[in-house]
Structure 1
Amino acid sequence: MTLTITGTALIRAAALTLLAAPMMASCAPGGATEAGAAALSPKQAEQLDKQLAGKVPGEPVQCLPSYRTTETIRISDNILLYRAGGKLVYRNDLKGSCPGLARDSDIMVVRQFGSSTCEGDFFHLVDRSSGIRGPTCVFGPFVPYRKPAGDAG
């Protein structure tokens, strides 16, 4: 689930972030900053391969209009996919790890300005059952993966 917020909710969220930042930093998993922490598990690698099978990467784009995507797929704590139809998927390698993103149980709250999500925009996770806010994460560039022209699949 993805939720977009604007206006005074952002101001409140920013104030809560400032108050909770020291406490949240102490909760980060120890291995999140170690070399190789971004490696995919066999299951994650299989899912990524399945989603991008038969597609070729294009030039990265800075922003992704919200209306272009129909599904968000969490591959790992570092990689998101945005499906924009059967022949087009955008891959986003986050700027750093987002601990807990791969669990796919927390709600993604995207801080969006306008109708696009852009490289450098922030989002955070919120625990679905307790409502406790998790880490703040940053989008990287959006790389389109398309089926080659003439490919019917």
Structure 2
Amino acid sequence: MRILFPTALALAIVAAPGAARDRNAVPVATPTGEPQNCVPLRNIRESVVRSDRVIDFRIGGNRYYRVTLDQSCPQLGFERRFSYATSLSQLCAQDIITVLYSTPPLSGASCGLAPFQPVTIAK
């Protein structure tokens, strides 16, 4: 099982003054190609949970893929972290993620991923 946590930079941004009102803001993303069903695990550098339905993955240097879940995944946007288990060297649209609660350390809802849409994220 692999656990993805927000980076220290993301935590600093969330903890910054005024961040509370922007916590659930999902930045605009412009599609830049065809959606992909899978991305190689070794290329995932960061995951940023934007809401209960949106996760952005930074792949390689500075490419982003947005996953928009078919349905809301309860507490994902609040906890902003998840785990997954896969027997492949890829994370795929048919894989299941599980929300991780910070206190106490428990597992929450499990939700299916969706295709990985390459995007450019607005600053």
Same fold (TM over 0.5): yes
Say which structure is richer in helix: 1
Matches within 5 A, 1:72-83: 72-83=47-58
Give the superposed CA RMSD.
2.3
Gap change, CA 1:104 and 1:57, over 3 Å in 2: farther
Tell me, in whole angstroms, the C-alpha distance in 2 between the residues paired with 1:81 and 1:140.
Answer: 12
Matches within 5 A, 1:1-153: 3=3, 43=22, 44-45=24-25, 47-49=26-28, 52=29, 56-84=31-59, 85-86=61-62, 88-105=63-80, 107-145=81-119
The answer to whether the 8 A contact 1:65-1:117 is kept is yes
Structure label with greater radius of gyration: 1
User: Once the two structures are superposed, what CA deviation does each residue of 1:7-61 show, in whole Å capped at 9, x if it has no partner?
Assistant: xxxxxxxxxxxxxxxxxxxxxxxxxxxxxxxxxxx8344x423xx4xx5421000
Which consecutive aligned stretches of 4+ in structure 1 deviate over 2 angstroms post-superposition? 42-45
Percent sequence identity is: 25
Which segments of 5 or more consecutive residues in structure 2 lack a partner in the other structure? 5-20
**TM-score normalised per structure 1:** 0.58
Say which structure is richer in strand: 2
Query: How far apart are residue 130 of structure 1 and its match?
Result: 1.1
Which segments of 5 or more consecutive residues in structure 1 lack a partner in the other structure? 5-41, 148-153
**TM-score normalised per structure 2:** 0.71
Tell me, in whole angstroms, the C-alpha distance in 1 between the residues paired with 2:37 and 2:52.
Answer: 20
Query: How far apart are residue 110 of structure 1 and its match?
Result: 0.4
